[in-house]
Amino acid sequence: MMTKDAVSETERMVVTRVFDAPREVVWKAWTDPKYAMQWWGPKGFTTPVYEMDFRVGGKFLICMKSPDGQEFWNGGEYREIVPNEKIVLSMYFADSQGNKVEPEHYGMEHEAIEDANDVITFEDLGNGKTKLTLIGNESMETAKTSGQVEGWNQILDKFAAVVAELGQAV
């Protein structure tokens, strides 16, 4: 595990995407479990469980299921919420009860930065466009080699479809 001192903010994994939707729509798609269940997980994965207590100090538990039926669980806690602007959270690999497990439990290598939180920002670009930025809890180099960057890009592809559908309903 790396320390925050060893990895600067600029070296952390950063994935951005611009959506052709107002910030409130993008926020709703990210923070409402009925929509999040539709986009969480890489291409081909489903999300049978997405429990969230969306408040500072609230916890979440998410299960994503691979096409071959293997379950991967994530848990975490919301550390900061600025409505329509920013979410700061801890996220870790978990078992089905939300207990933290090491990535090796799922046969993965993941070098998280010690005490680093994930940060998601929602920036209103005007003209009905929103920029979402995800700052992960690992270095960009590690995220590229572990497949995290590719995974997040696949997730954001699915997210874009949910945002587009939700935007049409508004």
Q: How many CB atoms lie within 10 A of CB 18?
A: 14
Residue 32's Cβ-count burial label (10 Å; 0-12, 13-18, 19+) is middle
pLDDT at 2: 42
Instruction: Say what the pTM is.
Output: 0.87
pLDDT at 7: 45
> Are the C-beta atoms of residues 120 and 133 closer than 8 Å to each other?
yes
- Note the residue count of the chain: 170
| pLDDT (average), residues 26-32 | 97
pLDDT at 128: 95
| pLDDT (average), residues 59-85 | 95
Q: What's the CATH class of domain 2-169?
A: alpha beta
